[in-house]
Structures are given as C-alpha cells and as structure tokens.
Amino acid sequence: MLVIIRSDNQAEFAMMHARLREIRKAKGLTLQDVADRIKPTGTTAQTIGRLETGVRTLTIDWIDKISQALEVDPSDLFAFSQTGNVVIDGTVTASGSVLDREEGLLPLRPTTRDPIAVRFTDNMGQYRAGDVVVCERLTEETMHRAAGCDCLVKDASGRRHFGKVFPTRERDVIMLAPLSASGSIKTSLKITMLAPAVALMRALSH
C-alpha cells in the first residue's frame, strides 16, 4: 500500500482534508462511526472532525488509519492524476549520491510540471529506506524556489546528488548540505539541473 504526501502545495492539503469528508459522507458514516473504526483503540469524533477541517495534521500514520477505517486506498485521498507515469531516475545512497541502480515508472503522476523520482536505499533524515521521492525539475527562471529545499541536482560533470540546497551569489552554483553524517557539504557545486522534492511515496506496513 502506498501513501503520497505533497510537501509544497497547501491547496492540495486542503483538498485532501475535504476529500476525507466527501468519502465519509458518501459511505453514510458519521464522525463517530469513523472514530470507532480507527485501529487499534479507536479515537474521538472530535479528532476525526479536526482532521477533516485541517485543524489537525494528516500524518502518514493518520492517513493509513483513516483509509482503513473508510475502506479505501490511501491514494484515493489525494488530488493526483491517475494517468501518466513518473520516471524513477536512480537510487539515493547514504552519502547523497544518486546511482543508476534502478530505472522504472511510477503509475501515479503528482500535479507537477516536470516530475522525476528517486528511491532511497538508506534512512536519511526524514526519509526511510524504500521511500520514493518525486521531484519537480525547475527552469532557470524558477530556480530560486529551491532555496532551503531537499533537492535532486545534477552537477556540471553529470553526477547527481540529493541534499538540502542553499543559494550562492551565482545563479547556477549552489551549496549542497548532506542529509546524513555519511555525506559531505559541497560548497560550490555548479549545477545543470535542480529539482526540489514535492511528494513522498512510502509503503505502509500492517
């Protein structure tokens, strides 16, 4: 089972909260009905109401529990297109290097202009081994949006890296901070591609 979280678009989060209410009402369930179905110990109707209105954050754990309570797939809660594919461009190692260990396609396309994905082989910061992160390739005019973001980048030699981006005085030169102790800071990295992470796909275990 997969869950997808969009990280940079508050409008999509709002639609996701509204989608919860829409599915619940379509199934003829009350807030208390859903609360009673939450495993393993249930919750309160007030908590479900807060999740539907966005007062409470929909974490991965809550998305998993509510999708089970509503008897739907987690992807049904998201406003992503079910058509098209996203290329998995490689795997991210503990050092932050991206290797050509995997090529494939994801059957879901987030609502982003130019997506590309990588899979993690190790736990790194907020990411877990097995996670697939979808990134959006930016144009030269929009590269400023990547400041402070986790990004997939390609340097002038063609090597790819994943880390947190900080701008420099030169538009096509960045500082790249590693997400784990295994990596090293790259202080003056000349880049030809910059793609901030916009969505996370994680397998949920039951």
User: Using CB atoms within 10 A of its CB, is residue 158 exposed (0-12), middle (13-18) or buried (19+)?
Assistant: exposed
- For domain 2-77, is the CATH number 1.10.260.40? yes
Q: Of 54-58, 182-186, 192-196, where does mean pLDDT reach its minimum?
A: 54-58
The pLDDT value recorded for residue 1 is: 43
Domains 2-77 and 86-203 share a fold: no
Average pLDDT on 91-97 reads: 93
Taking all residues of the chain, what is their mean pLDDT, rounded to a whole number?
Answer: 83
Residue 56: pLDDT band with limits 50, 70, 90: confident
Question: Is the model's pTM score more than 0.75?
Answer: no
128 and 102 in contact (C-beta within 8 Å)?
A: no
Q: Taking 70 as the threshold, does the pLDDT of residue 27 lie above it?
A: yes
Give the pLDDT confidence of 97-145 residue by residue, as tens digits: 999 866 676 666 555 678 889 999 999 988 889 888 888 899 888 888 8
How many whole angstroms separate alpha carbon 7 and alpha carbon 108?
16
Going from N- to C-terminal start, the domains of the chain cover 2-77, 86-203
Name 68's Cβ contacts closer than 8 Å, sequence gap at least 6.
Answer: 37, 39
- Could you tell me the fold of the domain covering 86-203? Umud Fragment, subunit A (2.10.109)
